[in-house]
Amino acid sequence: MAAINLNLISGRSIQQGVAIEGGKEKPAYRTAAGIIELDPSDLKRLGAWRNTNVKVTSDYGSVVVKAIETTQGPHPGLGFIPMGPWANSIVNPNTYSTGMPTFKGVPVKVEVAINEPILLGIELVQKQCGVKVG
Amino acid sequence: MTKTVTDVVCPFCGTLCDDLEVVVSDDGKQLTEVYNACVIGTEKFLHSQAKDRVTRPRLRQEDGSWKEITYDEAAEYTAQMLANAKKPLMYGWSSTNCEAQSMGHEIAEMVGACVDNTAAVCHGTTLIAVQDIGIPSCTLGEIKNRADRILFWGCNPAHAHPRHMSRYSIYPRGFFTGKGQKSRKMIVVDPRVTDTAKLADVHLQVEQGRDYELLNAFRVALNNEWLPEVVAGIPAEKIREAADLCKSGRFGIIFFGMGVTQTLSKNHNIDEAIALTKHLNEFTKFSIMPMRGHYNVTGSGEVLAWQFGFPYSVDLTRGFARYNPGDTSTIDLLARGEADAFFTIASDPGAHFPISCVKQIAKLPSVCIDPHQTPTSGISKLHVPVAFAGVEVGGNAYRMDNVPIDMRKVVDPPAGMLTDEEFLTKVRDRVKQLKRAG
Amino acid sequence: MAEYIIKNGHVFDPLQGIKGDKADVAIKDGKIVKDNEVSSKAKTIDAKGKTVMAGAVEIHAHIAGPKVNVGRIYRPEDKLFTYTPKKGNIRMAGGFSIPTTFKTGYEYAKMGYTTAMEAAMPPLFSRHVHEEIRDTPIIDEGAFPVFGNNWFVMEYLKNNEIENTAAYCAWLLRATKGYAIKLVNPGGTEAWAWGLNCLSVNDPVPYFDITPAEIIKGLIEANEYLGLPHSIHIHPNNLGNPGNFTTTLDTLKLAEGYKTKNKFGRDQVMHLTHTQFHSYGGENWGNFESKSKEIMDYVNKSKNITIDTGNVTLDETTTMTADGPFEHHLTELNHLKWANVDVELETAAGVVPYIYSPDIKVCAIQWAIGLELALMAKDASRCFITTDHPNAGPFTRYPRVIKWLMSAKAREAQIKAFKNSDKVIAATHIAGMDREISLYELAQMTRAGPAKSLGLSGMCGGLKPGMDADVVVYDFSPDKPVANPDQIEAAFSRAAHVFKSGVEVVTNGEVVNNGNKRTIWVNAKVKENPQVMRDIQEKFLKYYSVSQANYESLGHHIIPNPYAIEVDAMQ
């Protein structure tokens, strides 16, 4: 299947804001922040329907999220994952001596991953950190 | 019969709306409705009384399960962890009141900790720029009453500060802005056509990450000098038009956010934005203001500054305060594996730090003080839930324009729960004993 | 509480007219008492050969609040090489021109200061000012809310409504727990919200169409209508510009004909602050010169005026003031980083670092002017020593200023050390002046005088039995001639003993106790004024960005130890 290259940014969305106050352990958080917003032209390049699971990979990691069509476009070539553990699985942690990671402007590869699950927020972090949950 | 608590301060974002009205049951125990808040603030108040709330401290066991412990036991664990560590990191502070922050600083001073707040991943680069070049600014009421040129650069208030435009920046009819929105011109600079951009008179859809060049080009346009045909994806005529629009106003403001603080040029972007603001003052009155995220990250910066002299990334490990972002900042301390204990309060680094940093936290002795279950509590050794500041306990908080507002208490926390300040007081008292004995 | 008897010291107390006599000072239950009222258990402090005075009173310094903190935040370099670590209960402390709140309290105490007034509180930020005051150990503090650019004040005074102005002032003092009516660049700072200014007392304020002169006179009348402990406290228009002495004289003259009406022993109707910055002659920096003589000739003959000096200390420091347009002007001059905050309906503030270099003629002339003012003062109880901290220099330099005032030799040495000494001498009077301030005059200028001007002579600035036991012993002998003027500076930098409200807080120059500071504020009761209350409600609903209830809320956690001075202005 086609893999496309994009520039990734992350940031707030009102749905993500509501979801974090509702509880990050809940599915609503995944619905709000376990997504990548794509321009219709990029969805086409990818060869994917809307609401398909995709795997997003950068030099720093990879994560499975749901590809949705952007409501704040057009922005061809730009992907947006709301701030949260899904985005932070792949952003650039380097601060270049400023103390600030590079949350915006990370080159990523996006490919369809229909059969891969999107993890819940806390579970995603625990798994990557190897934390044992009883 | 219900009671309505008025003038309630919303404890979510830096907009710090203080006109909320919360309806509680007659016995004062149940929070039933919230008026005037945005959808996020409403959720915060209503969800605070969710049935599945964690109400007691819990310690992670060997087999991965949680064991409930008392607050006293939690205070003991926390005090021991901090007192015994060589370089403990105390991070967060942004979603609690100034009284709790101050108590935490006493502990940090006694144990020789690094103290940092969420500016580390938000407006820290703004603070660095301000330390280079200063900042011409104003309070939000000045915007309401005077501003007729509003720029949103690299921020999306429609999503992140939902009532900002209606309370302060675009819609209100102020003293000199009686026509409300019609008195104002709005410019948005953003690589996406955000919901905020859709309301703008001018949207400059800048090439992502090229804000520095565009800011600089604005300044060139102010000087009426030569520009290349296109800068950062924006045609030169559009840049000149926007610069002229700014010059023609009586009172302008640049609001800015993560689009310029977190992109590759970091503090240099903000430096240039502030330089642009200063430059605009040669033509008309102009100010600039960061859109602070958490409702009391500003407060944490203020308290750290008057007590220790620096607004974030403060290192107290040598017995006196040092400050050097990139060296004493939390992300870098974690990346270099320098911290040997991690204490989080009123924030969620587990969700908002890059995963490589979170992995470091997971390896360390750790305490997470948070009313919610979060990725941070999910990887910490001890989770201490507390009362919601601004809902179940009052206390001072500072708005994005540094105006202090004392939050109100609307309902009691669940029986037996402590506030941040009460828990930290126990920890402080125990640390004092340990340090005297040792 | 422990009892003390400070024996055999040379006491200087202008309140009781004691001019260096050897006397004992007794302390019991936090108060000064007569010698024979303490028991045999009283601890003896040997003050033989030493100077004993009441705790000093700082009448004007920028030590707590939003612009002070902007200074701290944006000048991390101000902390370099200044830090002292935590020791027992004494907190870590750092910062040179903008010390942390802990350092502020400790450094004042070490010099024998026990009461201080924060010079300018933007009312919208009163919570911030009070949080910092709470975190400043030992010294009692109050804060002056600013009124000179306030929309309510300008609207009422345009219509000459003194009673309404007074009612509003009383309301604001209560809402912000403020101490006095402060004016900063009246009218000009509201003009600054549009990038403009008022450089003379007759320049009308844009839109509000009232002049600084009308604002000043109106507030004098409101202040005396209320009978507040302090008079209006004014930072006049046109600060810092060559030739501004005429604006200063115009401002001072507005007090002519006014007599005070108050129950606090205050005689003045106007206190003009950091007068050094307002005593400039010449038309430009080239022919810049001192006009201290013209200013002091007027002040000396005007018994209803008090001033403080604003001495330049020749340091790298940070300027910060509610004179927003001046700070913008300063950054255009020296190109150092500039911070500015315009405050809705009320005021503004600006912050810019500044280096007073002894190599620069203008800085040296400023230094001279500040000293000339004090040396020309005929009545030392109406001329107080300040540095407008941190604007003309850090308050920690008071001992150095005292050295310059008490030793003509020290002044000469400094004048000789200036790079452009000839030009400085030509533009000032300092070289010819051989007056040396005596210890008694020093006590007038730093204790009794400011206390009286503030309306606090019953409480501080003196050693009369019944007053708070704020007592200082300096390791300085009035009998022995001073071999080296630096001894003056050393003695006044580190007091031998300091008592605050009867508790020993400093011993041998080291802080030993955090004390239990109070926040002093003024509660003026006026008769009900429904119109003003309605105007307040209306402006909060329409123009402020916070609600009235939240503006007025000042909880106990913010002011844990308040001390209210009640004023009956019911008329």
Q: Of B245, B267, B290, which one is at a domain's C-terminal end?
A: B290
B5 near C CB under 8 A: no
Report pLDDT digits (tens) over B366-401. 999 999 999 999 999 999 999 999 999 999 999 999
Using an 8 Å CB-CB cutoff, list chain C residues near B140: 344, 545
In degrees and rounded to multiples of 5, residue C413 shows phi and psi of: -60, -40
In a domain, A113, yes or no: yes
Nearest chain B Cα to A122, which residue? B375
**At B438, is the pLDDT very low, low, confident or very high (cuts 50, 70, 90)?**
low
In total, chain C counts a number of residues equal to 571
Q: Do C131 and B303 touch (CB under 8 A)?
A: yes
Report pLDDT digits (tens) over C58-112. 999 999 999 999 999 999 999 999 999 999 999 999 999 999 999 999 999 999 9
CATH number (domain holding residue B268): 3.40.228.10
Closest among C365, C387, C385 to C292, alpha carbons compared:
C365
Q: Which residue has the tokens 């003991």?
A: B76
Give CA–CA dist C215/C205, Å, rounded: 10
Full residue range of the structural domain in which residue B143 is found: 124-290
Q: Do B310 and C79 touch (CB under 8 A)?
A: yes
| Confidence check: pLDDT of C481 > 90 | no
**3 state SS for C206-221:** CCCCCCHHHHHHHHHH
Report the pLDDT value the prediction gives residue C275, as an integer from 0 to 100. Answer: 98
Cis peptide before A117 (omega within 30 of 0): no
Report pLDDT digits (tens) over C317-360. 999 999 999 999 999 999 999 999 999 999 999 999 999 999 99
B179 and B251: one domain? yes
Report the pLDDT value the prediction gives residue B56, as an integer from 0 to 100. Answer: 98
Alpha-carbon gap: B362 to the closest alpha carbon of chain C (Å):
32
Contact status, residue B333 vs residue B314, Cβ threshold 8 Å: no
Contact status, residue A125 vs residue B379, Cβ threshold 8 Å: yes
Which residues make Cβ contacts (< 8 Å) with residue B162, sequence separation at least 6?
A14, B15, B38, B39, B40
Mean pLDDT of C264-280: 98
Q: Which residue has the tokens 């028991």?
A: C39
B435 near A CB under 8 A: no
How far is residue B67 from each of residues B54, B62, B369, B383, B386, measured CA to CA in Å? 12, 10, 16, 10, 17
In a domain, B53, yes or no: no
Q: Of B259, B290, B321, which one is at a domain's C-terminal end?
A: B290
What is the pLDDT of chain B when averaged over all its residues? Answer: 97
| Confidence check: pLDDT of C424 > 80 | yes
ipTM tops the 0.95 cut: yes
Mutate to test the interface with B, among C550, C554, C556, C559 (most CBs of B within 10 A): C550
Structure tokens at C189: 């700072």
Domain count, chain B: 3
In a domain, A134, yes or no: no
Q: Do C128 and B309 touch (CB under 8 A)?
A: no
C543 near B CB under 8 A: yes
Using an 8 Å CB-CB cutoff, list chain B residues near A81: none
C9 near B CB under 8 A: no
CB pairs under 8 A between B and C: 182
Tell me if residue B393 falls in helix, strand or coil: strand
Mean pLDDT of C383-394: 98
C342 near B CB under 8 A: yes
Closest CB from B66, B352, B379 relative to A131: B379
| Confidence check: pLDDT of B220 > 80 | yes
Buried b (16+ CB within 10 A) or exposed e, A2-15: eebebbbbbbbbbb
Tell me if residue B149 falls in helix, strand or coil: strand
Tell me if residue A62 falls in helix, strand or coil: strand
Mean pLDDT of C20-26: 97
B199 near A CB under 8 A: no
Report pLDDT digits (tens) over A86-106. 999 999 999 999 999 999 999
Alpha-carbon gap: B359 to the closest alpha carbon of chain C (Å):
32
Structure tokens at C182: 């402060």
Chains that touch A (3 or more CB pairs under 8 A): B
Q: Do B402 and C341 touch (CB under 8 A)?
A: yes
Angle at the Cα of C448 from the Cα atoms of C442 and C449, rounded to 5 degrees: 80
B213 and B255: one domain? yes
Report the pLDDT value the prediction gives residue B437, as an integer from 0 to 100. Answer: 80
Type of residue at A93: P
Alpha-carbon gap: A13 to the closest alpha carbon of chain B (Å):
5
Report pLDDT digits (tens) over B312-366. 999 999 999 999 999 999 999 999 999 999 999 999 999 999 999 999 999 999 9
Closest CB from A24, A78, A93 relative to B357: A93
Report pLDDT digits (tens) over B166-211. 999 999 999 999 999 999 999 999 999 999 999 999 999 999 999 9
For helices B39-47 and A14-22, angle between their N-to-C axes, nearest 10 degrees:
10
B178 near C CB under 8 A: no
Burial class (CB in 10 A: 0-12, 13-18, 19+), B438: exposed
B366 near A CB under 8 A: no
Sign of the torsion formed by the C-alpha atoms of B297, B299, B305 and B307: negative
Structure tokens at C512: 């030993």
In total, chain B counts a number of residues equal to 438
Q: Which residue has the tokens 């409702």?
A: B295
Closest among B291, B411, B295, B361 to B29, alpha carbons compared:
B411
| Portion 129-148 of B in contact with C at CB < 8 A | 130-142, 144-146
The percentage of residues in chain C with a pLDDT greater than 70, rounded to a whole number, is 100
Domain count, chain A: 1
Report the pLDDT value the prediction gives residue B180, as an integer from 0 to 100. Answer: 96
Give CA–CA dist C372/C361, Å, rounded: 16
Report the pLDDT value the prediction gives residue A134, as an integer from 0 to 100. Answer: 80
Closest CB from C68, C131, C193 relative to B98: C131
B135 and B110: one domain? no
Type of residue at B141: G
B332 and B431: one domain? yes
Mean pLDDT of C397-424: 97
For helices C126-134 and C162-176, angle between their N-to-C axes, nearest 10 degrees:
40
Report the pLDDT value the prediction gives residue C480, as an integer from 0 to 100. Answer: 87
Using an 8 Å CB-CB cutoff, list chain A residues near B197: 72
Closest CB from B9, B136, B318 relative to C340: B136
B17 and B63: one domain? no
B250 and B337: one domain? no
| Portion 93-122 of C in contact with B at CB < 8 A | 94-95, 100-102
How does DSSP classify residue C25? E
Contact status, residue C458 vs residue C473, Cβ threshold 8 Å: no
Chains A and C touch (3+ CB pairs under 8 A): no
CATH assignment, C54-453: 3.20.20.140
Report the pLDDT value the prediction gives residue B253, as an integer from 0 to 100. Answer: 98
Closest among B296, B284, B346, B269 to B149, alpha carbons compared:
B284
| Confidence check: pLDDT of B1 > 90 | no
Nearest chain B Cα to C327, which residue? B136
In degrees and rounded to multiples of 5, residue B195 shows phi and psi of: -60, -25
Q: Do A98 and B313 touch (CB under 8 A)?
A: no
How does DSSP classify residue B166? I
C549 near B CB under 8 A: yes
B241 and B347: one domain? no
Angle at the Cα of B55 from the Cα atoms of B53 and B57, rounded to 5 degrees: 125
Region of residue B209 (left: phi > 0; alpha: psi -120 to 50; beta: else) = left
Q: Do C207 and B130 touch (CB under 8 A)?
A: no
In degrees and rounded to multiples of 5, residue C328 shows phi and psi of: -65, -40
Give CA–CA dist C450/C445, Å, rounded: 7
B156 near A CB under 8 A: yes
Chains A and B touch (3+ CB pairs under 8 A): yes
Report pLDDT digits (tens) over B250-265. 999 999 999 999 999 9
Report the pLDDT value the prediction gives residue C18, as an integer from 0 to 100. Answer: 98
Structure tokens at B233: 């994806």
Using an 8 Å CB-CB cutoff, list chain B residues near A128: 355, 358-359
Give CA–CA dist B250/C156, Å, rounded: 26
Chains that touch C (3 or more CB pairs under 8 A): B
Chains C and B touch (3+ CB pairs under 8 A): yes
Region of residue B369 (left: phi > 0; alpha: psi -120 to 50; beta: else) = beta
B429 near C CB under 8 A: no
B151 and B198: one domain? yes
Closest among B125, B78, B75, B117 to B96, alpha carbons compared:
B117
Using an 8 Å CB-CB cutoff, list chain B residues near A59: none
Buried b (16+ CB within 10 A) or exposed e, A99-110: bbbbbbbbebeb
Chains that touch B (3 or more CB pairs under 8 A): A, C
Mean pLDDT of B18-42: 96
Mutate to test the interface with B, among C67, C73, C141 (most CBs of B within 10 A): C73
CATH number (domain holding residue A71): 2.40.40.20
Give CA–CA dist B356/B375, Å, rounded: 14
How far is residue C351 from each of residues A19, A107, B274, C118, C151, measured CA to CA in Å? 41, 41, 15, 16, 23
Structure tokens at B62: 């060997």
Type of residue at B253: I
Q: Where in chain C is the domain with CATH 3.20.20.140?
A: 54-453
CATH number (domain holding residue B380): 3.40.50.740
Region of residue B172 (left: phi > 0; alpha: psi -120 to 50; beta: else) = beta
| Confidence check: pLDDT of A1 > 90 | no
B188 and B305: one domain? no
Provide the pairing of β-strand A52-58 with A106-112.
antiparallel
B210 and B250: one domain? yes
Closest CB from A21, A132, A133 relative to B43: A21
Torsion angle defined by CA atoms of residues C117, C123, C127 and C129, in that order, rounded to the nearest 10 degrees: -30
Superfamily of domain C4-53+467-511 in CATH is Urease, subunit C, domain 1 (2.30.40.10)
Q: Do A24 and B50 touch (CB under 8 A)?
A: no
